[in-house]
Amino acid sequence: MDTKIEKMNCDEVDLEKIEEFAQLLKEGKTVIFPTETVYGLGANALDEEAAQKIYEAKGRPNDNPLIVHIYDKKEVYNLAKEVPDTAKLIIDKFWPGPITIILNKKSIIPSRTSGGLDTVAIRMPSNKIARALIKAAGLPIAAPSANISGRPSPTRSEHVINEMNGRVSGIITGGDCNFGLESTVLDLTSDKPMILRPGSVTKEELEAVLGEVLEDPTLNKKTDNNVKAKAPGMKYTHYSPNADVYVVYGSDEGVIEKINSLVSEDREKGLKSGVMCMSERVDKYDGTVVDLGESLEEVASNLFDALIEMDKENVDVVYSEIFPMEGVGQAIMNRLLKSAGYKMIRAEGKKDILVVCSGNTCRSAIGEFLLKEEIKNSAKSLDNYYIHSAGVTAIEGLEASENAVSVLKEIGIEAKTHESTVLTEKMVEDASLILTMTNSHKNYLLQTLPKNKDKVYTLKGFAGMGDSDVIDPFGGGIDIYRKTRTEIGDCVKKIVQKI
């Protein structure tokens, strides 16, 4: 198939050229065009045969529904049986933009477009070229991402030309896509709105408009290919380069150590390894390293390009850092896990032991230094442990209390370098073992971060010395601090024998 290719500038759309590509769409042919998310492979959404050409060009399973792109908000009423108030709120707030809504379809939508479902996925893009093309065609345009099915979605013009030239009738290029991940997909056919595919419009942003928004329970786990998907990207392998992809998780230090170890092992096997990470850690890795950016927004924009780059570098294995699951991080991890086929590697690295109290200037500071000293004096190596402390109500950067420093100095431990640290969710998640000074600290962690319950203990409880609180010396004299030091020290001796 001969493919007509035209390069355009999003800020100066050539409407005469747009008309030529719009005519291809009117004739039931396929045209690739840029959007603010990824490049789309479009055809007439109301034409069964035209929609089928999309599946053929991509090698896409026929039960994977297509997203219908429209030019004007009012067009949604031509495609959906009803438009609930929740949909109107989303349309008013986020359209045009990177969000797709699922509604019950009218009969005008052919089965091939909806993937055999009674629902239709609708989106109004903001990209100027996409909008001009849809307007000129005078048709709703069905358009999934413009890539071979299962491969990374294209975000740059060279991606679509390299992969799809000869498979479609036309390609309009318009530079790089802004967001780099496909649109958020929100199901509005049930009582509660539900995210079927995370994207640049986050759960937090949706809840600010709609109130409670549910998440499909399969977002970050492998799904049954026999179950019908209501949205694209919910089943089958997606976003995968030719290389095997693995997501490595654990503490920051552990992940770096594990990935470099794996790269070294691959090199001995004659394999070429690639690493995807954030900017701040680029110089810490071996292998072919791709910088995903300084922020989660940059990671989202660069992820698919990075996966495609790995193929250009003829990489055999790709290792990626894991990313936080808040905001757009949820969309990043959704795509990354699908790219990896949900293959994950835990980085053991150093055993991360976190000691917790309130202000991190007295008890937990004493506990941290005593634990380090006891490990050094044992047959164990301190190099195998990462011992640190934090406070649930701490003020960042305070020195240890004068009496705490004094009672540690009495037994040869220098603690003047200590600075208080505020306890964070990431610290809790990264830790292998969390030791709290009181039951209230323990209960706070169990209530606020319940998924970490299997690694949270009181100091005395883990030491096997009952489960009472450690004495709080704050505001007391040197003698109460000595008593606290002894109490913590007795526990630490037993803890070091267990870890």
Share of the chain above pLDDT 70, in %: 96
The closest alpha carbon to 145, from 204, 201, 110, 185, belongs to 185
Q: Are 299 and 293 in contact (CB under 8 A)?
A: yes
Of the candidates 312, 346, 380, which is a domain's last residue?
346
pLDDT on residue 2: 92
Residues 78 and 204 in one domain: yes
Query: Strand, coil or helix: what is 234?
Result: coil
Q: What percent of the chain has pLDDT over 90?
A: 78
pLDDT in tens, 412-451: 999 988 999 999 988 898 888 999 999 999 999 999 988 8
The CA-to-CA distance between both ends of the chain, in Å, stands at 66
Number of domains in the chain: 3
229 pLDDT band (50/70/90 cuts)?
A: low
- Our CA angle for 93, 96, 99, nearest 5°, is 75
pLDDT band at 145 (very low <50, low <70, confident <90, very high): very high
CA pair distance 4, 13, nearest whole angstrom: 17
Q: Is the pLDDT of residue 283 over 60?
A: yes
Residue 231 in this model has a pLDDT that exceeds 90:
no
Section 236-247 average pLDDT: 80
In a domain, 395, yes or no: yes
Contact 284, 291 (CB under 8 A): no
Q: Are residues 55 and 187 in the same domain?
A: yes
Phi, psi of 304 (to 5 degrees): -65, -40
**What is the reported pLDDT for 224?**
52
Co-location of 96 and 175 in the same domain: yes
319 in a domain, yes or no? yes
pLDDT for the residue 357: 95
Tens-place pLDDT, residues 384-407 = 788 999 999 999 989 999 999 999
**Is a pLDDT exceeding 60 seen at residue 233?**
no
Any domain includes 227: no
Residue 236 lies in a domain: no
- Residue 228 within any structural domain of the chain: no
- pLDDT category of residue 227 using cuts at 50, 70 and 90: low
| Entry pTM | 0.70
Going by C-beta distance under 8 Å and a sequence separation of 6 or more, which residues neighbour residue 71? 124, 131, 134, 135
Mean pLDDT score across all residues of the chain: 92
pLDDT band at 234 (very low <50, low <70, confident <90, very high): low
Residue 75 and residue 188 in one domain: yes
Whether 276 and 307 share a structural domain? yes
pLDDT at 152: 86
Residue 223 pLDDT class (50, 70, 90 cuts):
low
Q: Which pair of tokens denotes residue 106?
A: 């009218």
Picking from 311, 346, 381, the residue at the C-terminal end of a domain is 346
Do residues 263 and 293 both lie within one domain?
Answer: yes
Would the pLDDT of 236 be above 70? Answer: no
Residues 208 and 292 in one domain: no
Q: Is the pLDDT of residue 213 over 80?
A: yes
Q: State which residues form the domain around 300.
A: 244-346
Cα–Cα dist 168/164, whole Å:
7
Judging by beta carbons within 10 Å of its beta carbon (0-12, 13-18, 19+), is residue 426 exposed, middle or buried? exposed
Distance CA 304, CA 396 (A): 38
Residue 326 lies in a domain: yes
Same domain for 322 and 359?
Answer: no
Q: Average of pLDDT values for 369-398?
A: 89
The CA distance from 91 to 7, in Å, is 31
Q: What is the CATH number of the domain that holds 388?
A: 3.40.50.2300
In DSSP terms, 318 is beta-bridged to 245, 274
Residue 305 lies in a domain: yes
CATH code for the domain of 287: 3.40.50.11030
**398 CB burial (10 A radius; 0-12, 13-18, 19+):** middle
Is residue 295, in this structure, part of any structural domain at all?
A: yes
| Residue 281 pLDDT class (50, 70, 90 cuts) | very high
Do 315 and 379 lie in a common domain? no
Is residue 237 predicted with pLDDT exceeding 90?
A: no
* Residue 40 and residue 138 in contact, taking contact as beta carbons nearer than 8 Å: no
Q: Is the pLDDT of residue 381 over 80?
A: no
**Same domain (yes/no): 435, 417:** yes
Same domain, 318 and 384: no
Domain boundary among 346, 374, 393: 346
- 47, pLDDT greater than 80: yes
Q: Checking DSSP bridges between strand 67-69 and strand 141-142, what pairing results, if any?
A: antiparallel
Amino acid 402: pLDDT: 94
* Across 343-370, average pLDDT: 90
Residue 226 has pLDDT above 60, yes or no: no
Does residue 84 share a domain with residue 189? yes
pLDDT at 230: 63
CATH of the domain at 117: 3.90.870.10
